[in-house]
Structure 1
Amino acid sequence: MIWGIRPLLRGSTYAGMLFASCGALASLPLLPFAMLPTRLWPSAPYGVQAVLVLLVWAVLIGAVGLARSTRRVLIACARRLLRVPLPDPLAVRRPANSPGTGRPSGADRLRTPLWLLLHVALGWTGALVGGVLMLGGLALPFGAEAGLSLFGRTVRPEPGWQSWVAALGCVLLAAVVCVVVTKALRWLAPRLLGPSPAERLALAAERELALAERNRLAHELHDSIGHTLTANTIQAAVAGEVLSADPVAARAALRSIEESARAALEDLDYVLGVLREQPAETAPPRTLADLPELLDRLRHAGAVAEPELSGDLAQVQGTLSRAAYRILQEGLTNALRHGAGGPIEVRVVAASDALELRVINRTEAATGIGTDPGAFPTSGRGMPGLAERVRLLHGEIEAGPHGPQHWRLAVRLPVRVSA
């Protein structure tokens, strides 16, 4: 019993009825324009004229619903008065590469006019029926002469308690009308004012793209900052050891630290600019064109790099070139961090159908590094992120021991015209 009357005690129920009544009142300025056709056909029967006015009125109301501003206002009011969680229509955008960008389908365009027509119809129904019942409830207790007439029938209760019971019944029925109208609008709002299935798919695709971009930026930041910190730590140790014996080598190591730190700051500034949706003032992400600079920093860190470059590297551009640079950077960083000295072989082969990358470095057999296939990839986030990057490019990756005392990272990326 209490559960049944609970909606009658909620203020949101009457706020929803207010929302419905506002829709009905907002349609009144269109009524004089809807009556213009009756002036052109004054001899038509009254019933025909009434139907004609209603049809023209409905067309005018639906035309108002075609405006984008109308949808925004209706969504804001429905969120406020109906307490329905509706997303802002400006937040539902189609991806730039999806078909029909910025052009909703015909069914999507008709959802707002349909909502407006139902909104106005429910508003007028609730206002007229609820208003008549409320006036009857106020008039019935004042004597036998007062009565309630509806559709040709008159209800005139006897004076006394019967009139008060009838008045209370009218008031309760008016409240029930408010509940019904409000619940109907709340049921319709998500289906007509909320995002359509096509818009939900577009929004999900947009969120997926944003998540993929965030993951890519996380990989970029990890690769850049991780490599810089590793190289700078080794270079600082080298500079400290040769500071007295070889000041020239120490200054070269310090200069390399400065250059690598500056490059890392540029990468960090670029990533932060993308995250803040601001235009970056620094250079774009590193590509294979920056590989010689990477190898120079490697040499300043005291490592011996033996590069072997073949093919036309200039033909590798875009996403493939950036990914190849980060893969080599991660491989060289791991070689510096986990290697046991000795030369580091770096091989890049650019063919017409694939790009092959290879990094081979010496490891300490006594430590177990290089003998356990799972030890190296799980030593941090670099290798899992590298494997994910290769998988997204539909490439192949192999990382594991290469002989008794060497570790090899081999990656093969397919070359596509769109890369």
Structure 2
Amino acid sequence: MARLLRPLFRGTTYTRLLHLWVPMLVVSVWVFIDDESLWVPAAVLIPLGFVPAVRTGEGVQARLLLSPGHEDSAFSVAPSATWRDRLRTVAWLELRMALGGLTAVACVWLPVLTVELVRLALGHRIADIPVLRDAEPHSAYALLALLPLLALYGAVVGLGILATAGARALLGPSAAERLEALEERTEQLLERTRIARELHDSIGHALTVAVVQAGAARAAGSPDFTERALTAIEETGRAALEDLERVLGVLREAERPVSARPTLTDADRLLESARASGAEVDAEVTGPLETLPGPVSREGYRILQEALTNVLRHAGAVPTRVRVEVADGALSLTVRNPLPDGRAGTGRGSGLRGIRERAALLGGRAHTGPDGAGDWLVRVELPLG
């Protein structure tokens, strides 16, 4: 019994009732003008449904009244983009009008019928309702007085459910809108992956430099070296905080403009950070870095950052050769360093995987691993086109 009466205590039942009553406001006005041409409001809905913005309005109403309390993606709020969407909107308007008419009849005449049954049970004769016109007054009619109310309850709940199902079928997103939503979701997932990679590269590099510098300063026992180490830690940490603030800004505010991400023209600070950590970095840059396309230059910076971070993390302060070349429509980036104690790594870390993923995303290729001569080699080639 409690389950049967549960819809009575749900706000959705009454917002759906309101949604079905809205078209009847127009019909009630028309009744005062001409009560013999009730087909006119239904006919007016046909050209109205072809207006693209009408579908948006109907979708918003459906979300607010048919499915309140949560965002229901089953109701599209985009304007009609195709003739199929316009025809679906027309069908929905006509269906809503028909269901609204049934709701109005039920809400008006069923309570009236209950009242008249009670009057009949009290000994009054009924002259206004054909069904009860010839009925003799009798107290037994009091038992029937609840039936119209039960029918009203079923009509209100059932017509609301039917209207919601019809709205989902006729106002639901089209195939093009579903594809657009899927593409948007894919872009969001890719953006989250990119942000995670950005944080890994930037924060990982800063922490690696800080650990190496602190260890070197403790081992050196020199005030001058300690001061240089603290300066390098401060500069690297500040850069990492800037990256972190930029990424968090993207997460907090989707519409906030993103500050410029570092590019290969800022590679000097990476090289100086590695040198300050004790590594002997021999760098050679050939070609105009400032002419690189934005995506190539930004991803190239992150690849170089991750490669230098791996050197400091796994090999320590060792001689490192960096070659960056822009030529023949491609960016070539090479980082080579001796393997610690001649040991060859597996090349399966998340950082190295990120290097390969960045290269593949731009249509390039990456090689990471020992070169057979006792060195660890990271070689990446990115096309500029």
Decide: shared fold, TM above 0.5: yes
Cα distance, 1:360 vs structure 2: 1.4
The answer on 1:400 being equivalent to 2:369 is yes
* CA 52–241 in structure 1, closer or farther in 2 if over 3 Å, else same: closer
Q: Which structure 2 residue ranges, 5 or more long, are not aligned?
A: none
Q: Which amino acid in 1 is paired with 2:203?
A: I
Match of 1:98 in 2: none
Match 2:354 to one of 385, 388, 391: 385
Q: Which amino acid in 1 is paired with 2:72?
A: L
Contact map agreement 1:365 1:405 (CA 8 A) in 2: no
**Separation in structure 1 between the aligned mates of residue 226 and residue 137 of structure 2, nearest angstrom:** 110
* CA 196–11 in structure 1, closer or farther in 2 if over 3 Å, else same: farther
SS of alignment partner, residue 273 of structure 2 = helix
SS of alignment partner, residue 158 of structure 2 = helix
**Separation in structure 1 between the aligned mates of residue 42 and residue 329 of structure 2, nearest angstrom:** 68
Q: Structure 1 residues 12-21 or 392-401, which shifts more? A: 12-21
Q: Which amino acid in 1 is paired with 2:215?
A: A
Match of 2:98 in 1: 121
Contact map agreement 1:140 1:157 (CA 8 A) in 2: no
Cα distance, 1:396 vs structure 2: 1.4
Contact map agreement 1:84 1:190 (CA 8 A) in 2: no
**Separation in structure 2 between the aligned mates of residue 408 and residue 189 of structure 1, nearest angstrom:** 60
SS of alignment partner, residue 408 of structure 1 = strand
The answer on 1:207 being equivalent to 2:176 is no
Match of 1:99 in 2: none
Q: Which structure 1 residue ranges, 5 or more long, are not aligned?
A: 39-45, 94-101
**Separation in structure 2 between the aligned mates of residue 387 and residue 394 of structure 1, nearest angstrom:** 11
Match of 2:273 in 1: 297
Match of 2:25 in 1: 26
Give deviations 1:23-56, integer Å, cap 9, x for gaps: 24432465279x5xx8xxxxxxx97x55456524
Match 2:67 to one of 61, 74, 79: 79
Match of 2:334 in 1: 358
Match 2:297 to one of 321, 325, 348: 321
Q: Structure 1 residues 175-184 or 321-330, which shifts more? A: 175-184
Give deviations 1:107-166, integer Å, cap 9, x for gaps: 44565554344223212122214533442343235158437856xx77745554764565
Q: How many residues align?
A: 379
Match of 2:54 in 1: 66
**Separation in structure 2 between the aligned mates of residue 255 and residue 54 of structure 1, nearest angstrom:** 77
SS of alignment partner, residue 126 of structure 2 = coil
TM-score of the two chains, using structure 1 as the length reference: 0.75
* CA 223–77 in structure 1, closer or farther in 2 if over 3 Å, else same: same
* CA 260–179 in structure 1, closer or farther in 2 if over 3 Å, else same: closer
SS of alignment partner, residue 300 of structure 2 = helix
Match of 2:126 in 1: 146
Contact map agreement 2:279 2:316 (CA 8 A) in 1: no
**Separation in structure 2 between the aligned mates of residue 114 and residue 212 of structure 1, nearest angstrom:** 38
Give deviations 1:170-223, integer Å, cap 9, x for gaps: 444444433431221121132344444433332222222122122212211211
The answer on 1:55 being equivalent to 2:35 is no
* CA 148–180 in structure 1, closer or farther in 2 if over 3 Å, else same: farther
> Identity over aligned residues, as a percent?
34
**Separation in structure 2 between the aligned mates of residue 145 and residue 395 of structure 1, nearest angstrom:** 91
SS of alignment partner, residue 378 of structure 2 = strand
Match of 1:187 in 2: 165
Match of 2:206 in 1: 228
TM-score of the two chains, using structure 2 as the length reference: 0.81
The answer on 1:287 being equivalent to 2:263 is yes
Match of 2:4 in 1: 6
Match 2:252 to one of 276, 285, 289: 276
* CA 382–30 in structure 1, closer or farther in 2 if over 3 Å, else same: farther
SS of alignment partner, residue 27 of structure 1 = helix
**Separation in structure 1 between the aligned mates of residue 19 and residue 134 of structure 2, nearest angstrom:** 31
